[in-house]
A and B are shown apart, each in its own frame.
Chain A
Amino acid sequence: MVRRLLFALLLLAGLAPGARGDALVARLSSERIAVTTAFTGESLLVFGSTEEPIGPGGDEILVVARGPTAPFVVRRKVQVLGMWFNGPSARFEEVPAFYAIAGSRAAWRLLPEDVRQERGLGLDAIPLVSMGARSPAFRAALIALKREAGLWQEEAGEVEIAGARLFSARIPLPSTVPAGAYSVEVYLVRSRRIVATEFLGFEVARTGTAARIEALARGWPALYGLLCVVLAALAGWLGSVVFRRG
């Protein structure tokens, strides 16, 4: 069923194997993820086709999705006077808020180490420059905490192969997925070399009331602050009137 659906999608997109003569064609199931008030997560489908058959000994597929970057601080708790406080910290610049990698096989088995590190393929290959505490434990903690939150994924999605030339991979986006521009790279690997690449992208956008409130709070904080004061006062007064009558 899924395969047939996928095939229909590919035909519609004019991507059927051999239709255009490209070594690799890939598309996303959606280019805009709307995060509404009721958003509980969504999964994005990356699908496409290759000219040559995919499989052991043949072509391999690697899919990487990266979210917008932001600076993050990792802190270690230390015990002072019997109580736990935040102690030494390390600051990491340009940390991708979201990262997911999936492949027909694990990235380290498909590509030489230097290529993998250079392109940032795999959680241990994400370029992380840190300031502050130097211990490698901070870097390890950052990776572990991001994985725990479901925001960095290495083993989540396998690439599924259908009919030797069709592939698809699911990228699960958790409810905490940050808004911004995301990039998706699809690599075609042959004999430990990258032979073709597709660069795709999608956007995660907050919509609805929650987004409007957030935009107001960020864009016009003084107006938002006044509004919070007035609304709370009004709600408190109104509530007491209603409940006293009732």
Chain B
Amino acid sequence: MQVYLPIAEMSVDALLLVGIGFLVGWLSGLFGVGGGFLLTPLLILIGVPSAVAVASGANQTLGASVSGLIAQARRANVDWPMGGVLVAGGLLGSVAGVQLFALLRRLGQLDAAVALSYVLILGVVGALMVMESLRALLRRRRAVPARMHQHGWAHGLPFKMRFRKSRLYMSVLPPLAVGFGVGVLSAIMGVGGGFMLVPAMIYLLGMPTAVVIGTSMFHIVCVTAAVTFLQAVQLGAVDIVLTLLLLLGGVAGAQLGVAMGGKLRGEETRALLGLLVLAVAAMLLWNLIATPEALFTVGRAAW
């Protein structure tokens, strides 16, 4: 069934979009990640313009994360003050990110910039995940106890605040910076940024794992909402028809993925996810370095 996407200005098979939503939702449920990093490249691959793919990807991530946030909030797994500081940074970051996005589009470098940031971020994160899980697998065999994480480098910074839930007394600057960075990437890549936020919260901020997921979901929901709004106002790039079709498949896929994820856990899962992330990065890198079929492109002038 062909459906016309009013903002992307193209006709696509509705079932294809629901299918992509289902696949991404399934993988995100299976691995416990947002899945935005798979969604945006897939949309670009089927011909959705980069700007629309990123903006609608952020909008879809918002929808996909809402129910998770509600569930986590009900179990009191959200550190609201810490989340508030992260979100404050994230909102500033999303504003900055959308400005950068608009600038790149004016310069005609948007497609390459989106692809390149994906290659860099996914390459690094994927490699770290694979290495980390391989090390953990080896460690499990040798039964060497894990080293305690040391932090304290941030203790000298001003504007300290007490975060009861996270049992932390620290400066607000590191969480603001983390929120800001993830906000910028969220605006440029159309992702929630959970795959960067969660490690940053554990290793950089030293938050207890129990509240990390819930608090990161709070950040993701707020920042993707801000990115959706800003992208719609400033660039007119959010396609609600695309978003809703993706969510239709995504919500169903996520439930199935969560159910199956129970059987597949631990370091093996992380290694598999890392390989998947690396594969997406490699595919995007290939698109950047392969000689393009057409040297010239034409587009409506954006200014």
Contacts and interface: CB of A to CB of B under 8 A. Distances in A.
Interface string B37-77: 00000000000000000000001101111110010000000
Nearest to A97: B300
Interface in A76-117: 76-77, 82-86, 89, 91
Interface string B149-180: 00000000000000000000000000000000
Interface of B: 2-7, 9-11, 59-60, 62-67, 70, 108-109, 111-112, 116, 221, 225, 228-233, 236, 238, 240-241, 243-244, 247-248, 250-252, 254-255, 288-292, 294-302
7 contacts: A37-B3, A222-B229, A228-B228, A229-B59, A237-B70, A239-B67, A240-B255
Contacts of B4: 35-39, 210
Contacts of A137: 296
A231 interface: yes
Q: Which of A35, A214, A217, A232 has the most CB of B within 10 A?
A: A232
Interface of A: 35-40, 70-77, 82-86, 89, 91, 137-138, 141-142, 144-146, 175-176, 206, 210-211, 213-214, 217-218, 221-222, 224-229, 231-233, 235-237, 239-244
Contact of B289 (A37, A83, A233): A83
Contacts of A210: 4-6, 241
A225 B228 CA distance: 6
A86 B108 contact: yes
Nearest to A214: B6
Nearest to A148: B294
A243 B63 contact: no
A59 B70 CA distance: 76
Contacts of A36: 4
A74 B62 contact: no
A85 B108 CA distance: 9
A225 B233 contact: yes
Contacts, number: 174
A240 B256 CA distance: 11
A176 B109 contact: no
Contacts of A82: 289
A152 to B, nearest CB: 11
| Chain A binding surface SS class | helix
A40 B251 CA distance: 30
B243 A232 contact: yes
Contact of B238 (A72, A74, A84, A228): A228
A170 to B, nearest CB: 22
Residue of B229, B243, B244, B290 with most chain A CB atoms under a 10 A cut-off: B229
B232 A211 contact: no
A91 B4 CA distance: 29
A231 B244 CA distance: 8
B240 A72 contact: no
A218 B236 contact: yes
Given A217-B236, A236-B247, A176 B9 contact: yes
A145 B298 CA distance: 7
A221 B62 contact: no
A175 B8 CA distance: 13
Given A37-B3, A213-B7, 18 more contacts: A72-B299, A75-B297, A75-B298, A83-B116, A83-B288, A84-B291, A86-B109, A141-B298, A142-B298, A217-B236, A221-B236, A225-B238, A231-B240, A233-B225, A239-B67, A239-B247, A239-B250, A240-B251
A235 B232 contact: no
A243 B251 contact: yes
Given A214-B7, A228-B59, A233-B225, A77 B238 contact: no
A236 B65 contact: yes
Contacts of A239: 63, 67, 247-248, 250-252
A135 to B, nearest CB: 11
Contact of B297 (A70, A77, A218, A242): A77
A86 B108 CA distance: 7
Contact of B6 (A211, A236, A240): A211
Contact of A40 (B2, B238, B248, B290): B2
Contacts of A175: 11
Contacts of A86: 108-109, 111-112, 297
Given A84-B112, A236-B251, A243-B252, A229 B296 contact: no
B292 A84 contact: yes
A34 to B, nearest CB: 12
Q: What are the 7 closest A-B residue pairs judged by CB atoms, nearest first? A: A239-B251, A225-B232, A240-B67, A236-B63, A141-B296, A232-B63, A71-B301
